[in-house]
Structure 1
């Protein structure tokens, strides 16, 4: 039962993480810092690079959410356990998105005149992904 509750909590926490500030970025410390979330980043990507926007949308939004829903269906006996390896693969794809965000942070910090501060949303999103991986692993053991 605690695994079910934790997994269902992710259905609320993931959307919160999508709108939470991943980072604050600005040009030089003199100018104000703009908050960047997954959703605001996706909005910018859709304007400049549609292919990358599709990839990041799948990795950041669809893959983790489909995994949580799939694990919930398994936990409630509505989906066969044979699908768990596919769902775990979706979790790994979602972890790739955390890697992309970290890579962007490193690149921007090395750019020189850009100020970057990580936001609490980055930790929330990473925690949701890691919790989802752990929940599916524990679900597999049951």
Structure 2
């Protein structure tokens, strides 16, 4: 029962993470910092690079949410356990998105004129992805 509730909680926590500040960035600290969320980043990408926007949308939005819904369907007996490896693969794709965000932070921090601070949303999104991976692993054991 606890595993089911934890998984269902992710249906609420993931959307919060999408709108939570991942990082604050700005040109030199004296000009102020703009908050960047997954959603605001995707909006910018749609205007500049549609292919990358499609990839990041899949990795950050659809893959983790499809996985959580799939795990819930397995836990409630509406989907066969044979689909679990596919769902676990979706979770790994979502973790790739966390890696991309971390890589962007490192690259931007390397540029001398830009200030970047991580926000609480990066920890929430990473926690959601890791919790999803753990829940699918524990679901497999049952």
Range of TM-score over shorter length:
over 0.9
Q: Is 1:74 paired with 2:74?
A: yes
Deviation, structure 1 residue 51: 0.2
Query: Which residue of the partner structure matches residue 54 of structure 1?
Result: 54
* CA-to-aligned-CA distance 1:14-54 (integer Å, 9 cap, x gap): 00000000000000010010000000000000000000000
Structure 1: runs of 5+ lacking an equivalent: none
Query: Which residue of the partner structure matches residue 107 of structure 1?
Result: 107
In 1, Cα distance between equivalents of 2:90 and 2:112:
35
Scaled by the length of structure 2, the TM-score of the pair is 1.00
In 2, Cα distance between equivalents of 1:80 and 1:134:
19
Q: CA RMSD in A?
A: 0.2
- Give every structure 1 segment of 4 or more consecutive aligned residues whose post-TM-superposition deviation is greater than 3 Å: none
In 1, Cα distance between equivalents of 2:96 and 2:43:
19
Query: Which residue of the partner structure matches residue 131 of structure 2?
Result: 131
Query: Which residue of the partner structure matches residue 44 of structure 2?
Result: 44
In 2, Cα distance between equivalents of 1:46 and 1:112:
27
Structure 2: runs of 5+ lacking an equivalent: none
Query: Which residue of the partner structure matches residue 30 of structure 1?
Result: 30
Deviation, structure 1 residue 127: 0.0
Scaled by the length of structure 1, the TM-score of the pair is 1.00
- Matched positions, count: 142
